[in-house]
Chain A
Amino acid sequence: MTSRSAPVSDRTLELLDLGELDGPERADLEARLASDAGLAARLDALRASNREILASHPPAAVAAEIRRRAAAAAPAPARPRGRLLLLAAPALAGAVALALWVRPGGDEERIKGAVPQLLAMTVRQGRPERLVDGAAVGPGEAVQLAYLAAGRVHGVIVSVDARASVTLHWPEEPGQPARLEPGGPVALPHAFQLDAEPGFERFVLVAASRPVDVARVMEAARAAVPGQPLRLPAGWHQSSIHLRKVAP
Protein backbone atom coordinates (compact mmCIF):
# COMPACT_ATOMS: atom_id res chain seq x y z
CA MET A 1 0.00 0.00 0.00
CA THR A 2 1.34 3.47 -0.79
CA SER A 3 1.63 6.02 1.97
CA ARG A 4 -0.40 9.21 1.54
CA SER A 5 2.80 11.22 1.27
CA ALA A 6 4.95 8.77 -0.69
CA PRO A 7 5.74 9.77 -4.28
CA VAL A 8 3.80 7.80 -6.87
CA SER A 9 5.95 6.37 -9.62
CA ASP A 10 5.02 6.45 -13.30
CA ARG A 11 5.01 2.67 -13.19
CA THR A 12 2.35 2.62 -10.48
CA LEU A 13 0.22 5.10 -12.41
CA GLU A 14 0.59 2.99 -15.56
CA LEU A 15 -0.56 -0.14 -13.73
CA LEU A 16 -3.46 1.73 -12.15
CA ASP A 17 -4.59 2.92 -15.55
CA LEU A 18 -4.35 -0.65 -16.87
CA GLY A 19 -6.43 -1.95 -13.97
CA GLU A 20 -3.52 -4.09 -12.80
CA LEU A 21 -2.99 -2.76 -9.29
CA ASP A 22 -4.03 -4.92 -6.37
CA GLY A 23 -7.08 -3.91 -4.35
CA PRO A 24 -5.66 -2.03 -1.34
CA GLU A 25 -3.05 -0.20 -3.40
CA ARG A 26 -5.62 0.70 -6.04
CA ALA A 27 -8.08 1.99 -3.46
CA ASP A 28 -5.38 4.05 -1.78
CA LEU A 29 -4.24 5.58 -5.05
CA GLU A 30 -7.77 6.34 -6.22
CA ALA A 31 -8.36 8.18 -2.96
CA ARG A 32 -5.20 10.21 -3.51
CA LEU A 33 -6.21 11.02 -7.07
CA ALA A 34 -9.44 12.54 -5.81
CA SER A 35 -7.57 15.06 -3.68
CA ASP A 36 -4.25 15.51 -5.49
CA ALA A 37 -4.61 17.66 -8.61
CA GLY A 38 -0.99 17.14 -9.59
CA LEU A 39 -1.37 13.38 -9.51
CA ALA A 40 -4.62 13.57 -11.47
CA ALA A 41 -2.86 15.71 -14.09
CA ARG A 42 -0.12 13.11 -14.44
CA LEU A 43 -2.75 10.42 -15.05
CA ASP A 44 -4.47 12.64 -17.63
CA ALA A 45 -1.12 13.20 -19.36
CA LEU A 46 -0.52 9.45 -19.40
CA ARG A 47 -3.87 8.86 -21.04
CA ALA A 48 -3.22 11.62 -23.59
CA SER A 49 0.12 9.98 -24.39
CA ASN A 50 -1.69 6.64 -24.89
CA ARG A 51 -4.03 8.25 -27.42
CA GLU A 52 -1.17 9.99 -29.23
CA ILE A 53 0.90 6.80 -29.50
CA LEU A 54 -2.01 4.67 -30.69
CA ALA A 55 -2.92 7.32 -33.28
CA SER A 56 0.67 7.51 -34.55
CA HIS A 57 1.22 3.75 -34.44
CA PRO A 58 -2.17 2.07 -34.99
CA PRO A 59 -2.65 -1.37 -33.43
CA ALA A 60 -3.44 -3.18 -36.69
CA ALA A 61 -0.27 -1.91 -38.39
CA VAL A 62 1.96 -2.54 -35.38
CA ALA A 63 0.53 -6.03 -34.86
CA ALA A 64 1.17 -6.87 -38.53
CA GLU A 65 4.78 -5.71 -38.20
CA ILE A 66 5.26 -7.71 -35.00
CA ARG A 67 3.93 -10.86 -36.69
CA ARG A 68 6.16 -10.26 -39.71
CA ARG A 69 9.27 -9.86 -37.56
CA ALA A 70 8.36 -12.87 -35.42
CA ALA A 71 7.99 -15.05 -38.53
CA ALA A 72 11.33 -13.82 -39.90
CA ALA A 73 13.04 -14.61 -36.61
CA ALA A 74 11.52 -18.09 -36.21
CA PRO A 75 14.19 -20.79 -35.87
CA ALA A 76 14.78 -23.10 -38.82
CA PRO A 77 13.54 -26.67 -38.46
CA ALA A 78 15.95 -29.30 -37.18
CA ARG A 79 18.19 -30.88 -39.81
CA PRO A 80 21.24 -33.12 -40.01
CA ARG A 81 24.56 -31.34 -39.50
CA GLY A 82 27.42 -33.27 -40.95
CA ARG A 83 27.63 -36.56 -39.11
CA LEU A 84 25.44 -35.45 -36.24
CA LEU A 85 21.68 -35.33 -36.13
CA LEU A 86 20.32 -32.11 -34.70
CA LEU A 87 17.58 -32.30 -32.12
CA ALA A 88 15.09 -29.65 -31.11
CA ALA A 89 16.47 -27.61 -28.23
CA PRO A 90 13.67 -28.53 -25.80
CA ALA A 91 14.77 -32.16 -26.04
CA LEU A 92 17.50 -31.43 -23.51
CA ALA A 93 16.14 -28.30 -21.95
CA GLY A 94 15.99 -29.73 -18.45
CA ALA A 95 19.44 -31.21 -18.83
CA VAL A 96 21.08 -27.92 -19.59
CA ALA A 97 19.47 -26.06 -16.80
CA LEU A 98 19.68 -28.65 -14.10
CA ALA A 99 23.11 -29.99 -14.91
CA LEU A 100 24.45 -26.46 -14.67
CA TRP A 101 22.52 -25.57 -11.61
CA VAL A 102 22.29 -28.47 -9.26
CA ARG A 103 24.79 -30.99 -7.96
CA PRO A 104 23.60 -34.48 -7.10
CA GLY A 105 23.37 -33.41 -3.46
CA GLY A 106 21.12 -30.52 -4.37
CA ASP A 107 23.74 -27.82 -3.87
CA GLU A 108 24.06 -25.04 -6.36
CA GLU A 109 27.05 -25.37 -8.60
CA ARG A 110 29.18 -22.37 -9.40
CA ILE A 111 29.99 -22.06 -13.09
CA LYS A 112 33.06 -19.85 -13.22
CA GLY A 113 32.72 -17.10 -15.75
CA ALA A 114 36.15 -15.46 -15.71
CA VAL A 115 37.35 -17.18 -18.89
CA PRO A 116 35.40 -18.49 -21.89
CA GLN A 117 34.15 -21.95 -21.15
CA LEU A 118 32.47 -24.71 -23.11
CA LEU A 119 29.88 -26.84 -21.31
CA ALA A 120 28.27 -30.12 -22.35
CA MET A 121 25.21 -31.81 -20.91
CA THR A 122 23.16 -34.94 -21.46
CA VAL A 123 20.26 -36.83 -19.89
CA ARG A 124 20.70 -40.33 -18.51
CA GLN A 125 17.83 -42.34 -17.08
CA GLY A 126 15.82 -39.16 -16.97
CA ARG A 127 18.46 -37.33 -14.93
CA PRO A 128 20.55 -34.47 -16.28
CA GLU A 129 24.31 -34.90 -16.25
CA ARG A 130 27.14 -32.52 -16.93
CA LEU A 131 29.68 -34.07 -19.29
CA VAL A 132 33.16 -33.12 -18.14
CA ASP A 133 36.38 -33.47 -20.09
CA GLY A 134 37.14 -37.19 -20.51
CA ALA A 135 33.56 -38.38 -19.88
CA ALA A 136 32.34 -41.57 -21.58
CA VAL A 137 29.37 -41.40 -23.94
CA GLY A 138 27.50 -43.96 -25.96
CA PRO A 139 26.51 -43.92 -29.61
CA GLY A 140 23.18 -42.20 -30.14
CA GLU A 141 23.46 -40.26 -26.89
CA ALA A 142 22.09 -36.73 -27.04
CA VAL A 143 24.37 -33.84 -26.12
CA GLN A 144 23.58 -30.18 -25.53
CA LEU A 145 26.37 -27.61 -25.67
CA ALA A 146 26.44 -24.25 -23.94
CA TYR A 147 29.09 -21.61 -23.42
CA LEU A 148 30.17 -18.77 -21.19
CA ALA A 149 31.61 -15.98 -23.31
CA ALA A 150 33.28 -14.20 -20.37
CA GLY A 151 33.46 -10.93 -22.22
CA ARG A 152 34.59 -12.27 -25.58
CA VAL A 153 32.20 -11.32 -28.35
CA HIS A 154 33.43 -13.57 -31.14
CA GLY A 155 33.52 -17.35 -31.04
CA VAL A 156 33.33 -20.60 -32.94
CA ILE A 157 32.42 -24.07 -31.66
CA VAL A 158 33.49 -27.15 -33.59
CA SER A 159 33.86 -30.84 -32.91
CA VAL A 160 36.25 -33.36 -34.40
CA ASP A 161 36.15 -37.15 -34.19
CA ALA A 162 38.82 -39.86 -34.39
CA ARG A 163 38.73 -39.74 -38.20
CA ALA A 164 39.46 -35.99 -38.16
CA SER A 165 35.95 -35.33 -39.44
CA VAL A 166 35.02 -31.80 -38.30
CA THR A 167 31.52 -30.50 -37.54
CA LEU A 168 30.70 -26.82 -37.11
CA HIS A 169 28.33 -26.19 -34.18
CA TRP A 170 28.52 -22.39 -33.88
CA PRO A 171 27.76 -20.38 -35.89
CA GLU A 172 25.09 -22.61 -37.36
CA GLU A 173 26.32 -22.00 -40.90
CA PRO A 174 29.85 -21.10 -42.06
CA GLY A 175 28.72 -17.79 -43.58
CA GLN A 176 26.96 -16.54 -40.47
CA PRO A 177 28.59 -14.08 -38.03
CA ALA A 178 30.55 -15.95 -35.37
CA ARG A 179 29.34 -13.85 -32.44
CA LEU A 180 28.86 -14.93 -28.85
CA GLU A 181 26.08 -13.72 -26.60
CA PRO A 182 27.10 -12.02 -23.36
CA GLY A 183 26.22 -13.39 -19.93
CA GLY A 184 25.32 -16.99 -19.95
CA PRO A 185 25.65 -19.88 -19.88
CA VAL A 186 24.20 -19.64 -23.38
CA ALA A 187 22.81 -22.87 -24.81
CA LEU A 188 23.19 -23.53 -28.52
CA PRO A 189 19.86 -23.58 -30.37
CA HIS A 190 20.01 -27.33 -31.01
CA ALA A 191 21.09 -30.40 -29.12
CA PHE A 192 22.46 -33.23 -31.26
CA GLN A 193 22.80 -36.98 -31.29
CA LEU A 194 26.25 -38.59 -31.34
CA ASP A 195 26.98 -40.94 -34.23
CA ALA A 196 28.25 -44.51 -33.93
CA GLU A 197 31.78 -43.66 -35.09
CA PRO A 198 34.10 -45.23 -32.47
CA GLY A 199 36.88 -43.38 -30.67
CA PHE A 200 36.06 -39.91 -29.41
CA GLU A 201 34.36 -36.62 -30.12
CA ARG A 202 36.29 -33.54 -29.08
CA PHE A 203 34.45 -30.22 -28.80
CA VAL A 204 36.30 -26.93 -28.86
CA LEU A 205 35.14 -23.39 -28.19
CA VAL A 206 37.43 -20.74 -29.67
CA ALA A 207 36.63 -17.29 -28.33
CA ALA A 208 38.27 -13.92 -28.88
CA SER A 209 37.71 -10.22 -28.62
CA ARG A 210 38.31 -9.81 -32.35
CA PRO A 211 36.54 -11.70 -35.16
CA VAL A 212 37.37 -15.41 -35.38
CA ASP A 213 37.79 -16.99 -38.81
CA VAL A 214 35.48 -20.02 -38.95
CA ALA A 215 37.41 -21.73 -41.76
CA ARG A 216 40.67 -21.35 -39.88
CA VAL A 217 39.23 -22.97 -36.76
CA MET A 218 37.80 -25.86 -38.77
CA GLU A 219 41.13 -26.39 -40.49
CA ALA A 220 42.96 -26.32 -37.14
CA ALA A 221 40.48 -28.86 -35.74
CA ARG A 222 41.05 -31.14 -38.73
CA ALA A 223 44.81 -31.04 -38.08
CA ALA A 224 44.49 -31.29 -34.30
CA VAL A 225 46.66 -33.64 -32.31
CA PRO A 226 44.63 -35.44 -29.61
CA GLY A 227 45.32 -33.95 -26.20
CA GLN A 228 46.95 -30.82 -27.67
CA PRO A 229 45.38 -27.38 -28.12
CA LEU A 230 44.45 -26.36 -31.66
CA ARG A 231 47.16 -24.35 -33.40
CA LEU A 232 45.55 -20.93 -33.48
CA PRO A 233 46.64 -17.29 -33.17
CA ALA A 234 47.57 -15.94 -29.77
CA GLY A 235 44.62 -14.27 -28.13
CA TRP A 236 42.15 -16.88 -29.39
CA HIS A 237 41.10 -18.59 -26.14
CA GLN A 238 40.29 -22.31 -26.34
CA SER A 239 38.03 -24.42 -24.12
CA SER A 240 37.85 -28.09 -24.98
CA ILE A 241 35.81 -31.14 -23.92
CA HIS A 242 36.96 -34.59 -25.00
CA LEU A 243 34.22 -37.26 -24.86
CA ARG A 244 35.19 -40.93 -25.10
CA LYS A 245 32.79 -42.97 -27.19
CA VAL A 246 32.22 -46.35 -25.62
CA ALA A 247 30.10 -49.32 -26.65
CA PRO A 248 26.77 -49.52 -24.82
Chain B
Amino acid sequence: MVTDVEEAYASHGPMVLRRCRKLLRDEGRALDAMHDVFIQLMRREDEVEPGRMGPLLLRIATNVCLNLLRSARRRPEDPTDEAVLEIARLEEGADGVVAARQLLGRIFGRETASTREIAVMHLLDGMTMEEIGREVGLSVSGVRKRLRTLRSRVAALEGVSP
Protein backbone atom coordinates (compact mmCIF):
# COMPACT_ATOMS: atom_id res chain seq x y z
CA MET B 1 0.00 0.00 0.00
CA VAL B 2 1.44 3.36 -1.05
CA THR B 3 -0.83 5.42 1.20
CA ASP B 4 0.19 5.03 4.84
CA VAL B 5 -3.21 4.95 6.52
CA GLU B 6 -1.85 6.02 9.90
CA GLU B 7 -0.11 9.01 8.36
CA ALA B 8 -3.19 9.86 6.29
CA TYR B 9 -5.43 9.71 9.36
CA ALA B 10 -3.01 11.77 11.46
CA SER B 11 -3.04 14.58 8.90
CA HIS B 12 -6.62 14.39 7.57
CA GLY B 13 -8.60 12.30 10.07
CA PRO B 14 -9.94 15.19 12.14
CA MET B 15 -11.25 16.93 9.02
CA VAL B 16 -12.97 13.72 7.91
CA LEU B 17 -14.51 13.15 11.33
CA ARG B 18 -15.81 16.71 11.46
CA ARG B 19 -17.43 16.23 8.03
CA CYS B 20 -19.04 12.97 9.17
CA ARG B 21 -20.28 14.56 12.40
CA LYS B 22 -21.76 17.47 10.49
CA LEU B 23 -23.68 15.24 8.11
CA LEU B 24 -24.67 12.39 10.42
CA ARG B 25 -25.10 14.26 13.74
CA ASP B 26 -24.33 11.12 15.68
CA GLU B 27 -20.89 10.53 17.20
CA GLY B 28 -20.93 6.74 16.94
CA ARG B 29 -22.08 6.68 13.34
CA ALA B 30 -19.63 9.44 12.47
CA LEU B 31 -16.72 7.40 13.84
CA ASP B 32 -17.89 4.33 11.91
CA ALA B 33 -18.20 6.38 8.74
CA MET B 34 -14.73 7.86 9.23
CA HIS B 35 -13.25 4.34 9.32
CA ASP B 36 -15.12 3.52 6.09
CA VAL B 37 -13.77 6.64 4.43
CA PHE B 38 -10.18 5.60 5.05
CA ILE B 39 -10.90 2.04 3.90
CA GLN B 40 -12.16 3.51 0.63
CA LEU B 41 -9.09 5.72 0.44
CA MET B 42 -6.87 2.63 0.69
CA ARG B 43 -8.77 1.14 -2.26
CA ARG B 44 -8.58 4.31 -4.32
CA GLU B 45 -5.03 5.32 -3.63
CA ASP B 46 -4.29 5.67 -7.34
CA GLU B 47 -6.55 8.73 -7.23
CA VAL B 48 -4.57 10.43 -4.50
CA GLU B 49 -2.65 13.38 -5.87
CA PRO B 50 0.30 14.45 -3.75
CA GLY B 51 -0.70 17.40 -1.61
CA ARG B 52 -4.37 17.08 -2.67
CA MET B 53 -5.77 14.35 -0.44
CA GLY B 54 -8.21 16.68 1.32
CA PRO B 55 -10.74 17.25 -1.49
CA LEU B 56 -10.82 13.53 -2.33
CA LEU B 57 -11.39 12.59 1.31
CA LEU B 58 -14.18 15.14 1.65
CA ARG B 59 -15.92 13.71 -1.38
CA ILE B 60 -15.57 10.14 -0.16
CA ALA B 61 -16.84 11.19 3.28
CA THR B 62 -19.82 12.97 1.73
CA ASN B 63 -20.79 9.88 -0.23
CA VAL B 64 -20.30 7.51 2.69
CA CYS B 65 -22.47 9.69 4.93
CA LEU B 66 -25.18 10.31 2.35
CA ASN B 67 -25.43 6.59 1.74
CA LEU B 68 -25.85 6.04 5.48
CA LEU B 69 -28.45 8.78 5.65
CA ARG B 70 -30.51 7.21 2.87
CA SER B 71 -31.87 4.69 5.33
CA ALA B 72 -31.82 6.96 8.38
CA ARG B 73 -35.08 7.14 10.29
CA ARG B 74 -34.70 10.31 12.26
CA ARG B 75 -36.30 13.70 12.42
CA PRO B 76 -34.32 16.57 10.96
CA GLU B 77 -32.83 18.85 13.59
CA ASP B 78 -32.93 22.06 11.54
CA PRO B 79 -33.55 23.25 7.95
CA THR B 80 -30.03 22.39 6.79
CA ASP B 81 -30.30 18.91 8.27
CA GLU B 82 -33.69 18.51 6.59
CA ALA B 83 -32.19 19.44 3.22
CA VAL B 84 -29.26 17.04 3.73
CA LEU B 85 -31.66 14.19 4.53
CA GLU B 86 -33.67 14.94 1.39
CA ILE B 87 -30.52 15.09 -0.71
CA ALA B 88 -29.38 11.76 0.70
CA ARG B 89 -32.64 10.14 -0.33
CA LEU B 90 -32.52 11.37 -3.92
CA GLU B 91 -32.80 8.48 -6.36
CA GLU B 92 -29.99 9.31 -8.75
CA GLY B 93 -30.27 5.97 -10.49
CA ALA B 94 -33.38 7.23 -12.23
CA ASP B 95 -31.13 9.15 -14.59
CA GLY B 96 -29.57 6.49 -16.72
CA VAL B 97 -26.68 8.57 -18.00
CA VAL B 98 -25.68 9.65 -14.52
CA ALA B 99 -25.94 6.08 -13.31
CA ALA B 100 -23.80 4.77 -16.12
CA ARG B 101 -21.21 7.49 -15.57
CA GLN B 102 -21.03 6.58 -11.91
CA LEU B 103 -20.52 2.94 -12.74
CA LEU B 104 -17.83 3.89 -15.22
CA GLY B 105 -16.18 5.95 -12.54
CA ARG B 106 -16.35 3.23 -9.91
CA ILE B 107 -14.82 0.71 -12.23
CA PHE B 108 -12.05 2.94 -13.45
CA GLY B 109 -11.52 4.38 -10.00
CA ARG B 110 -12.66 7.91 -10.71
CA GLU B 111 -16.07 8.77 -9.47
CA THR B 112 -17.94 11.40 -11.40
CA ALA B 113 -19.39 13.90 -8.97
CA SER B 114 -23.00 13.15 -8.28
CA THR B 115 -25.62 15.83 -7.93
CA ARG B 116 -25.78 14.90 -4.25
CA GLU B 117 -22.08 15.69 -3.79
CA ILE B 118 -22.46 18.97 -5.63
CA ALA B 119 -25.42 19.84 -3.44
CA VAL B 120 -23.42 19.23 -0.28
CA MET B 121 -20.53 21.30 -1.59
CA HIS B 122 -22.95 24.13 -2.22
CA LEU B 123 -25.11 23.75 0.85
CA LEU B 124 -22.70 22.74 3.58
CA ASP B 125 -19.37 23.94 2.28
CA GLY B 126 -20.66 27.22 0.92
CA MET B 127 -18.66 26.76 -2.27
CA THR B 128 -19.43 29.02 -5.20
CA MET B 129 -20.41 27.53 -8.54
CA GLU B 130 -16.97 28.44 -9.89
CA GLU B 131 -15.27 26.58 -7.02
CA ILE B 132 -17.53 23.54 -7.45
CA GLY B 133 -16.91 23.56 -11.20
CA ARG B 134 -13.14 23.52 -10.65
CA GLU B 135 -13.45 20.79 -8.06
CA VAL B 136 -15.59 18.38 -10.08
CA GLY B 137 -14.53 19.26 -13.61
CA LEU B 138 -17.81 20.82 -14.75
CA SER B 139 -18.54 24.17 -16.34
CA VAL B 140 -20.28 26.79 -14.21
CA SER B 141 -23.39 26.36 -16.33
CA GLY B 142 -23.20 22.61 -15.75
CA VAL B 143 -23.08 23.14 -11.98
CA ARG B 144 -25.90 25.69 -12.19
CA LYS B 145 -28.04 23.26 -14.16
CA ARG B 146 -27.48 20.47 -11.64
CA LEU B 147 -28.36 22.75 -8.74
CA ARG B 148 -31.44 24.06 -10.51
CA THR B 149 -32.64 20.50 -11.07
CA LEU B 150 -31.90 19.70 -7.46
CA ARG B 151 -33.87 22.66 -6.15
CA SER B 152 -36.89 21.48 -8.07
CA ARG B 153 -36.60 18.06 -6.42
CA VAL B 154 -35.64 19.02 -2.88
CA ALA B 155 -38.27 21.22 -1.33
CA ALA B 156 -36.23 21.66 1.85
CA LEU B 157 -33.52 23.52 -0.08
CA GLU B 158 -35.81 26.53 -0.31
CA GLY B 159 -34.91 28.95 2.39
CA VAL B 160 -31.64 27.23 3.31
CA SER B 161 -28.51 29.28 2.93
CA PRO B 162 -26.35 29.71 1.00
Contact = CB atoms under 8 A, between A and B. Distances in A.
14 contacts: A9-B125, A11-B58, A11-B121, A53-B18, A57-B17, A59-B9, A69-B36, A70-B42, A101-B100, A101-B101, A101-B104, A113-B94, A150-B93, A185-B103
B99 A183 contact: yes
What band does the interface of chain A fall in when counting residues whose beta carbon is under 8 Å from B? 35 or more
Interface string B117-150: 0000100011100000000000000000000000
B113 interface: no
Given A97-B103, A101-B101, 13 more contacts: A10-B18, A10-B125, A18-B11, A53-B17, A59-B7, A66-B5, A69-B39, A97-B107, A110-B97, A113-B91, A113-B95, A148-B96, A184-B103
A237 B103 CA distance: 23
Contact of B103 (A20, A63, A112, A187): A187
Nearest to B121: A11
A152 to B, nearest CB: 11
Contacts of A66: 5, 9, 35, 38-39, 42
A241 interface: no
A114 B10 CA distance: 44
B21 to A, nearest CB: 10
Centre residue among B107, B125, B126 by max chain A CB count within 10 A: B107
Interface of A: 7, 9-11, 14-15, 18-20, 49-50, 53-54, 57, 59-60, 62-63, 65-67, 69-70, 73, 93-94, 96-98, 100-101, 108-114, 146, 148-151, 182-187
B5 A67 contact: yes
Nearest to B41: A66
Nearest to B116: A183
Interface string B17-61: 110000000000001001110110011000000011111001000
Contact of B108 (A57, A62, A93): A93
A184 B97 CA distance: 10
B14 interface: yes
Contacts of B127: 9, 11
A130 to B, nearest CB: 11
Contacts of A59: 6-7, 9-10, 13
A54 B12 CA distance: 10
B51 A183 contact: no
Contacts of A150: 93-94
The list of the 5 closest CB pairs from A to B, nearest first, reads A63-B6, A111-B96, A97-B104, A183-B93, A9-B126
A114 B70 CA distance: 19
Nearest to A17: B15
A186 B9 contact: no
Given A49-B14, A60-B6, A69-B39, A113 B51 contact: no
Nearest to A117: B96
Contacts of A49: 14, 18
A18 B54 contact: yes
Centre residue among B31, B34, B103 by max chain A CB count within 10 A: B103
Contacts of A149: 93
B82 interface: no
